[in-house]
Amino acid sequence: MHDESNTTEEPVEFADFNAKLLVLDVLCYDLDVLQPYAGDDDESDEDLDVEGQDDRAREYYDDLDLLPSQLSLVTELTVDSDLEVLQDVHPGWDGSDDRYDPQNWDDVLDLPALGTVYAAAPLPAHVVERLAAKGVEVRSA
């Protein structure tokens, strides 16, 4: 884990929470830069909202600051319903709807070192075009 407590960097605000989740999956689970949501032993089904979302996990990830130095570590992103961070936010979600699909990709496009996006399903054409224009390779299933 990186200690960013002595940094003067300003956190980056994401316009789209779902895009932030894609980045958080890399930073929390692939690179171990940030601590993923751990939950409580006391959590129960009552902690889930009516649609099955874990509001504590969502709030944790929403409040997590992302610094430019951390974002510069992200070279690859995966767009898939099986991401661990999505299972934190919505345990048991099967990806059968688009509730966690980013609507605004600007923050992803601003990732300085992003080189590849792996997508389990085809991304919207306008997103692929914008990523390609930035030199990002998109690999779809």
Comparing CA positions, the residue from 140, 141, 135 lying closest to residue 115 is 135
CA distances from residue 95 to 17, 33, 75, 132 in whole angstroms, order as listed: 17, 26, 24, 26
Average pLDDT over residues 71-88: 95
What's the pLDDT band for 97 if we cut at 50, 70, 90? confident
Higher pLDDT among residues 4 and 6, named by residue: 6
pTM > 0.75: yes or no: yes
Q: What pLDDT score was predicted for residue 43?
A: 53
Alpha helices in the chain (DSSP H): 17-25, 55-63, 68-71, 84-89, 106-109, 125-133
State which amino acid sits at residue 4: E
Task: Collect all residues with Cβ–Cβ distance below 8 Å to 51 and sequence separation of at least 6.
Answer: 90
Q: pLDDT per residue over 14-69, tens digit each?
A: 999 999 999 999 999 999 999 999 986 555 555 565 577 898 999 999 999 999 99
Q: What pLDDT score was predicted for residue 67?
A: 97
Return phi, psi of residue 91, to 5°: -55, 130
Asked if pLDDT for residue 6 goes beyond 90, the answer is no
Q: pLDDT per residue over 98-125, tens digit each?
A: 889 999 999 999 999 999 999 999 999 9
